[in-house]
Structure 1
Amino acid sequence: MISPIRILLALTLLAPALFADELAEKIRIQNQNVVKAAAESLAGELPKRVDAHTRLIAIDPKGETLLYTFEIDAGPKSDEAVIAEGKERMGRNVTAGICATSRRFLESGITIAYRYVSAATGRELFRFDIDEKRCGYRK
């Protein structure tokens, strides 16, 4: 027979883990709801011109990720040329911008993703998923 003291000790040791899992699940669900509400709120303004070559065409909730889809009209440039010329530069700029403007989202566990597609071919050119670790302010 297992003594009541051993049962109590086992429950005491397991309780923090059980509560942590329950809390993590509640946070995950809350983040999904925040992402969905943000996407719904912003989607009514679309499509929206960003600059001479770029339009924001969609904002979608994907679990705990808020996915922005941009369309690039690069004129006569091939998709390969756009990728070669822009991916690294765009990645730095997008990361810096999101880290500067979306800290509260990121620190709560939400990821912001920017996806760029070709206006000519519909092909995905590049995608940047930014979370709090990538911004360097993880606790």
Structure 2
Amino acid sequence: MKVKIGELAKMTGCEVVTIRYYEKEGLLKKPERTEGNYRIYEDDDIARLRFIRHCRQHGMSLSEIRALLAFNDNPNSSCDWINALIKQHIEDVEKQIDDLIHLKNHLENLYHKCDGGKKEGCGILKSLIDGENCKYCQKMKCQKTH
């Protein structure tokens, strides 16, 4: 099947500008062109773009996708590094979950500090101005500065 870029975008749920960007970054090969200079994509391009989209949905960076595509195109060694890559992503997601749980708890704590009074009595503003001492927040602040 041969499709133009707009059709490819509809088929994959990917924006046209993103498809062009993936081409520029070398994730997609340069497509053949019609006489009218329209890009034409074939089945292997469609499959490759779907692969890229799945990788992006799983939080993979362009450099990681590039490495996966290179390995997929020429699988001449062990794929153990792919397991390590996925394990690292799992660890990153677990950290994000921990951070979001902390943020939720902190926001709930702030939410209960306001009695609906005027600015001078707003516990939320006071807590944000004072920068309440939160051990987890302090730990995060130290990690972000290093």
When normalised by structure 1's length, the TM-score is: 0.36
Structure number with higher relative contact order (C-alpha < 8 Å, ≥ 6 residues apart): 1
> 1 or 2, which has the higher strand percentage?
1
> 1 or 2, which has the higher helix percentage?
2
Whichever of the two has the greater Rg, that structure is 2
